[in-house]
Amino acid sequence: MVLVDFRGTPIRVTATGAAPFDDMLDLGLYFSSLTLLVTLLGLEGVGGGTTSVVLTLETAMDPKGVWITVDSFASLTLANTAEKKTFTGLLRYVRWNVTTLNNVTAATFTLNGIGRSS
């Protein structure tokens, strides 16, 4: 097992999209699953209606190649909430992707967990 952290500090996003290159993890060929905890620390510019933030985990053999969605976390709707999820079937590289920012102008979260070889 190994501890993983996608940035080491809170991640603030103002638009949907994939993680920058510095936030990608190189699992090598050693880890086949990740158990991750996403913690939504804050929401900014909350508009009317239901707020939501959705993150997916993507994987690829080459960071400049084609990325495949592994799975999504459940929609996060309130600050100071968290969700744990295990992702399997990973290739060498993994990254997060914010696919939904609904009724918010920015969201801040952390993403960390444990990598396992089996």
CATH number assigned to the domain covering 2-116: 2.60.120.1110
Return the higher-pLDDT residue of 27 and 118.
27
Residue 45 is predicted with a pLDDT of 86
Q: How many residues would you count in the chain?
A: 118
pLDDT attached to residue 117: 87
Query: Higher pLDDT residue, 46 or 8?
Result: 8
- Per-residue confidence (pLDDT) for residue 53, from 0 to 100: 95
pLDDT band for position 26 (cuts 50, 70, 90): very high
Look at residue 11 in the predicted model and tell me its pLDDT: 97
Strand 93-102, strand 17-18: pairing = antiparallel
CB 12 within 8 A of CB 110: no
CB atoms near residue 47 (< 10 Å): 10
Locate the DSSP E strands across 19-89: 25-26, 33-44, 52-60, 68-72, 81-88
Determine how many CB atoms are found less than 10 A away from the CB of residue 77: 15
Encoding tokens for residue 14?
Answer: 């103002």
What would the mean pLDDT of 64-82 be, rounded to a whole number? 95
pLDDT band at 104 (very low <50, low <70, confident <90, very high): very high
* Nearest of 43, 11, 29, 15 to residue 92 by alpha carbon: 29
